[in-house]
Structures are given as structure tokens and as C-alpha cells.
């Protein structure tokens, strides 16, 4: 019996060991499969399929796999503008790619500069004698700008194409806060620094409206010029001056109205669009479904055309999103994180650095941390160049001041040189209910700032003086950077925003050009000749990205959810964006910490809208995947 028991224990131990080994192997294989990156070998002869579900951004936000597991709705996808443009340029030269198909069914937009960059890349494909086709249920401004650069524009018969133009309303909470007896303490410098106005007024001030009219007019002119050049037959005037008459002339059929105005070429559903692409590039050998065509995804094409790593490194560091204190990001510009990236490039002895800025600003302290790191890089006698994308305003301009040259596009929004601080107090609110503060102070600063009992006059005066000092520092930095006097900078500062063209005229920008132009200048300034490559810091691949994409529906399957929506659906998406913006504005009243260099007038694209969710998060997808 003792022998048998020992044999049994041995057999159980062997069984348990084998189970552990096989489980370990299973999870290793599963992890490898789910985190596998696109391979260059996956490029197939056919079309490049670009499914721009979600938004185009300068820097996608980092995905938190744990948060995603428990999310109630699927987060909106973000596509890096540089990757989309690079894939299009690769498609122009790759003989295996016969055409490009842009699926904009669930496209939610992006910044004007990014749209123009992608549009120019689409032109490169067409110049290589390769057709570019777009499809959507509904096009709005950003999607329409991309479609204008296509050789064939398709729209669903139940959809349409609409042009709304930039602009809109902000909410002003001043009367509401007064009714609630909330004191809003505002400390600012700058006639045009209107970020605080929604909390103290019932409408925009005339200086705010003046700046906004100018900036939106410049954006609108740039958009119209781009579309007119790419698609001369489009009658934008008819669509925008009398939209009701234009739509009624087509019997209320938005798709037919869009075709009559030259905004689109063909009416057809997604299957019809797929059949058209199949005529050009051939059928998908792996699918018998109608509308299937041979295609390659963006990841595979980019893997087949890697960026050069030869020669000396020119570092690229990105400041994208709101500038905040700490290590936040990517997608949000955490000052400590970005300063560390710049210091890493400095330690690596990168020969030059290009700071790519796409930010409306934010924390003064975080902006200063980034600026300080750039000054340390410059102290090593190496060039620093700034490349502005859609927005480089307020704190976005603060971090640009160390540059020896600033590049921007005509559609870039910059300036907004000014700072503010805002702080609510609730002493009047509490007094309505018989709650009052009392006590003993040893100095005027004792217990301050007291948001429940109120601020003392001394504290208010000190805060305003500190903000004025911060503004003086800001315009001093700009004056030193731009080679102008403080008085000259003050005249164009005061918190006012400028379009890229005007900013170049008043000296805030040196030259028109994109990131590639800034890189070429930096390499030339570092005397590298042609022996250099761009090295992006802070862009390490997320090891969970493939897993997230797999369950998020970007695994290459054609089993898509419903398209983005018809005319009413498009407007509903914009409504979602407006609601999110309103809630965010109110939250800033209590969420803002410290002095801020932030831009109110910088346009918020429709990219902020949430698209209809496809599931209740990854747990629901995982359950469906395993058949639960």
C-alpha cells in the first residue's frame, strides 16, 4: 500500500507538472498571437484599405487595458496623422498597391492641418496614376476635405455630404454662478485672454468675438481654398449660402443634393463601393462575400516600408493635447514626462531636436518644465526647432520659445500669449443656509485661500500680482526668442490667437512648412548633410495594443458594425461633442490648478464626439469571442 501510494503521488505530480507546462505554453502562444505586430509579408497585391474609424490625431493616447476591460462603451479610435500620410506615400511607390480605398463610414474628424497633410499625400497617390476612392454614409467638413482629394467619392444613397464651416457657441455660466451665489475669482492679464469669460459673463466680450471672427475666417478661407483646388467642380457656395434651398431642390434627398453640387461622384452602398474597388484591384481570394476586394491594411504596408535609421539622429519629441503637470500621456502633454524625453535625447547626444507641438496650452508650471529641458538641450550647442501642427497656442507657444526657428502651416492656430488663474469660493452660497466662517488669523494669509469662507483682499492682490509677473515673464521669453522688444510682443500678445499666416507676418512664426521641413532644417543647422534620420522619443509600441485592437474590431475582418449614421445621425454625433465640451468647461471651474496658459478660441474639432458604441467594452467582446 505504501508503494502504491508513492506511485500514485508520483503520477499526480507528473500530471500536475504537465498541466502547468501545457498551460504555460498555451498562454505564451496566446500572448504571442495577440500581441503580434503587422508583418511586411502581409502586403498583398490589391488596394490599400484605410479604415479611418474614429479620429486623426497628432499622438494617440495610451490605452489602459484594465480600464478598457471595464469600460461601459468602447473608446474612440485614434489614428496618428503621420502614419496615415506615410502609408499613402508608400502606396504611391509600392507596385503591389493598385489603388487606395478610404472607408470614412465612422470617421469623426481631425484638425485642419492634419486633413491637409493627408490630402496632399492622397494627391501623391493620384500623381502616381493610382485611383483613390472614398466611401461614407455622410461627409462633414473634415471628411469632405479628404474626399475632395479623391478620384472617386462615393456616398450611401441614404446619406449625404454637408459643409458646416468652423464656429459655434460656447456656454457662459456667469448668471448661473451668480444665482448660486458662487464667487468666481479671476486673475488674468490680456485683453483677449477670454478663457475665463464663460465663468464671469453671460456672453462673449467684443475683443473675444473680434479674435474669434478673425481666426475662424482664416480657417474657413483655408478650407475652401484647399477644397476648391482639389475639387474645382464642387459648388461650395450653393451648399453654404442657402443650404435649405439646396436640399429642397433635390426633393430633400441629401445624397442627390450632394451629387448635384459636385461634392460626391457616385451613389451606392458599401457593397457597391466594394464591387467598384474590386473592378480596379481584383477579388479577395479569402472571401466570397459581395463587395470583397484584395487589400492590405495600413500596419502591414508601414511594416513593409520602415522609416530609415541610418546616420545621425535628429530627435522628435511631441507635445500633444493639454499641457498638464506630472507624467500624463501620450495624448496628453505631461510636463515631467516630456521634459524627461528631451533630457533622454540630450543624454543620447542627438544632433538636433524638433519639438512637434499640437496643443492649446495648459499648466504654466508644466510648460516651464518643458521649456527648461529644451534650454538644457540648447546649452549643448545643438539646434532646437519647433514644428506646429493644428494648434500651438498659449502654453503651446510657451514651450516653443527656445526654438531657433518655428515652422507652422497657414491653418495653424498660435499665439494666445497670456495667462490666468481662476478660483471659486462658496461663502455666499453657504450663507444662504446659515453657514458662516469665523475664527482668528495671525496674518492676512492665515487659513488662505479659504474657498468656504472667502479670500482676503490681500490674497486676491497677491494672486493678481503673481499672474502679472507670469505674463511679464511670458512676453519676455517671446521677445528674447523673436528678437523683438517686450513692447512689440505685448502689442501682439494680450491673449490674442492668430492664424499661421498672420503669425508669420507679425513674427511669431518664421516659416511655413510641416514636420518634414522642420526636420530638414534641423539637420541642416546641425550640419549633417544627408546622413541623418528622425528618431521619435516616447513612441514605444504598447505591448497590449494588438490585443486591444483585436477585440476593438481592427483585426482586419469585414464584420463591421453599422456605419456612422445618416443626416440626423451626423448631427447627433455633433450634439454629443457639444455636450461633452459643455460639461468639460464647467468642470474646469473647480478642476483647474495653478496659473494657466490656455486657449479658449482654439477650435474644438468634431473629433471630440463619441461615436455610437459597438459593445459594452472588452469583457463583452471577450464573452462573445469564446461563445458565452
Residue 136's SS3 state is strand
DSSP string spanning 90-126?
HHHH-TTEEEEEEE-TTEEE--HHHHHHHHHHHHHHH
For residues 108 and 57, is the Cβ–Cβ distance under 8 A? no
The CA–CA distances, whole Å, from 19 to 5, 13, 456 equal 21, 10, 70
Cell numbers given for 198: 464663460
Among 394, 416, 453, 546, the one annotated catalytic: 394
List the beta bridge partners of residue 384.
353
Spatial distance between the Cα atoms of 536 and 305, rounded to a whole number of angstroms: 17
d(CA 490, CA 236): 39
Each residue of 31-58: b (16+ CB within 10 Å) or e?
eeebbeebeeeebbebbbbbbbbbbbbb
Rounded to whole angstroms, the Cα distance separating 334 from 41 reads: 37
DSSP 330: S
Say how far apart CA 474 and CA 416 lie, in whole Å: 11
Cα 368 to Cα 623: distance, rounded to the nearest angstrom: 47
Please classify residue 210 by burial: count the beta carbons closer than 10 Å to its beta carbon, then call 0-12 exposed, 13-18 middle and 19+ buried: middle
Strands 497-499 vs 413-415: parallel, antiparallel or unpaired = antiparallel
Residue from 252, 36, 45, 280 nearest 154 by CA: 280
| Neighbouring-strand partners of residue 405 | 385
Q: CA torsion, points 514, 519, 520, 525, in degrees to nearest 10?
A: 130
* 203 is known as an active-site residue: no
> Grid cell 482586419 — which residue?
556
CA angle 555, 557, 558 (to 5 degrees): 145
**Which residue, among 115, 114, 88, has the nearest Cα to 99 in the 3D structure?**
88
Pairing of strands 312-320, 352-359: parallel
SS3 state at 175:
helix
- Beta strands 532-536; 413-415: pairing state: unpaired
394 among known catalytic residues: yes
Q: Classify residue 540 by its DSSP letter.
A: P
Q: If you write DSSP's letter for every residue of 215-259 in order, what string do you get?
A: HHHHHHHHHHHHHHHH-TT--HHHHHH-HHHHHHHTTT-HHHHHH
Q: Which residue has the cell 476586394?
A: 293
φ, ψ (nearest 5 deg) of residue 600: -80, -35
Q: Which of 51, 98, 188, 193 is catalytic?
A: 193
Annotated active-site positions, please?
Answer: 193, 394
Amino acid at each position: 500500500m505504501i508503494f502504491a501510494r508513492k506511485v500514485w503521488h508520483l503520477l499526480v505530480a507528473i500530471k500536475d507538472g504537465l498541466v502547468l507546462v501545457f498551460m504555460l505554453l498555451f498562454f505564451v502562444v496566446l500572448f504571442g498571437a495577440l500581441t503580434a505586430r503587422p508583418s511586411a509579408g502581409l502586403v498583398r497585391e490589391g488596394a490599400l484599405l484605410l479604415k479611418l474609424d474614429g479620429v486623426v490625431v497628432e499622438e494617440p493616447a495610451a490605452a489602459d487595458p484594465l480600464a478598457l476591460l471595464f469600460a461601459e462603451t468602447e473608446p474612440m479610435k485614434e489614428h496618428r496623422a503621420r502614419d496615415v500620410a506615410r502609408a499613402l506615400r508608400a502606396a504611391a511607390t509600392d507596385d503591389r498597391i493598385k489603388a487606395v480605398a478610404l472607408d470614412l463610414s465612422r470617421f469623426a474628424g481631425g484638425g485642419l492641418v492634419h486633413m491637409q497633410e493627408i490630402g496632399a499625400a492622397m494627391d501623391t497617390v493620384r500623381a502616381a496614376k493610382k485611383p483613390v476612392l472614398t466611401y461614407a454614409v455622410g461627409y462633414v467638413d473634415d471628411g469632405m476635405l479628404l474626399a475632395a482629394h479623391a478620384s472617386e467619392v462615393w456616398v450611401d444613397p441614404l446619406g449625404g455630404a454637408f459643409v458646416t464651416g468652423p464656429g459655434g457657441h460656447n456656454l457662459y455660466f456667469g448668471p448661473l454662478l451668480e444665482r448660486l451665489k458662487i464667487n468666481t475669482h479671476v486673475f488674468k492679464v490680456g485683453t483677449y485672454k477670454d478663457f475665463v469669460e464663460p465663468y464671469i459673463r453671460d456672453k462673449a466680450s467684443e475683443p473675444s468675438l473680434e479674435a474669434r471672427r478673425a481666426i475662424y475666417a482664416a480657417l474657413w478661407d483655408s478650407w475652401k481654398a484647399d477644397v476648391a483646388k482639389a475639387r474645382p467642380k464642387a459648388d461650395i457656395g450653393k451648399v453654404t449660402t442657402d443650404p435649405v434651398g439646396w436640399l429642397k431642390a433635390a426633393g430633400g434627398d441629401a445624397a442627390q443634393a450632394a451629387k448635384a453640387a459636385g461634392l460626391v461622384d457616385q451613389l451606392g452602398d458599401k457593397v457597391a463601393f466594394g464591387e467598384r474597388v474590386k473592378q480596379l484591384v481584383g477579388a479577395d481570394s479569402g472571401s466570397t462575400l459581395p463587395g470583397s476586394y484584395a487589400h492590405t491594411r495600413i500596419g502591414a504596408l508601414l511594416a513593409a516600408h520602415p522609416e530609415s535609421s541610418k546616420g545621425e539622429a535628429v530627435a522628435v519629441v511631441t507635445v500633444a493635447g493639454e499641457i498638464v503637470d506630472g507624467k500624463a500621456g501620450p495624448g496628453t502633454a505631461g510636463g515631467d514626462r516630456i521634459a524627461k524625453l528631451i533630457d533622454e535625447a540630450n543624454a543620447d547626444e542627438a544632433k538636433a531636436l524638433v519639438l512637434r507641438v499640437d496643443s492649446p496650452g495648459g499648466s504654466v508650471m508644466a510648460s516651464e518644465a518643458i521649456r527648461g529641458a529644451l534650454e538644457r538641450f540648447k546649452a549643448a550647442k545643438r539646434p532646437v526647432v519647433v514644428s506646429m501642427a493644428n494648434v500651438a497656442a498659449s502654453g503651446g507657444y510657451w514651450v516653443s520659445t527656445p526654438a531657433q526657428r518655428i515652422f507652422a502651416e497657414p491653418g495653424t492656430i498660435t499665439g494666445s500669449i497670456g495667462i490666468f488663474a481662476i478660483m471659486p469660493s462658496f461663502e455666499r452660497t453657504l450663507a444662504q443656509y446659515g453657514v458662516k466662517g469665523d475664527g482668528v488669523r495671525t496674518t492676512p494669509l492665515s487659513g488662505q485661500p479659504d474657498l468656504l469662507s472667502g479670500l482676503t483682499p490681500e490674497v486676491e492682490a497677491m494672486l493678481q500680482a503673481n499672474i502679472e509677473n507670469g505674463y511679464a515673464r511670458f512676453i519676455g521669453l517671446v521677445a528674447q526668442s523673436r528678437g523683438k522688444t517686450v513692447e512689440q510682443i505685448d502689442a501682439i500678445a494680450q491673449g490674442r490667437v492668430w492664424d499661421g499666416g498672420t503669425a508669420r507676418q507679425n513674427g511669431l512664426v518664421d516659416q511655413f512648412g510641416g514636420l518634414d521641413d522642420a526636420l530638414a532644417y534641423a539637420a541642416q543647422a546641425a550640419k549633417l548633410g544627408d546622413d541623418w534620420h528622425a528618431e521619435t522619443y516616447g513612441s514605444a509600441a504598447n505591448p497590449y495594443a494588438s490585443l486591444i485592437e483585436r477585440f476593438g474590431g481592427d483585426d482586419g475582418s469585414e464584420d463591421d458594425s453599422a456605419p456612422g449614421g445618416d443626416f440626423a445621425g451626423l448631427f447627433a454625433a455633433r450634439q454629443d461633442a457639444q455636450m461633452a465640451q459643455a460639461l468639460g468647461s464647467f468642470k474646469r471651474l473647480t478642476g483647474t490648478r495653478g496659473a494657466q496658459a490656455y486657449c479658449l478660441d482654439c477650435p474644438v474639432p468634431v473629433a471630440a464626439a463619441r461615436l455610437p458604441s459597438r459593445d459594452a467594452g472588452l469583457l463583452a467582446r471577450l464573452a462573445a469571442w469564446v461563445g458565452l
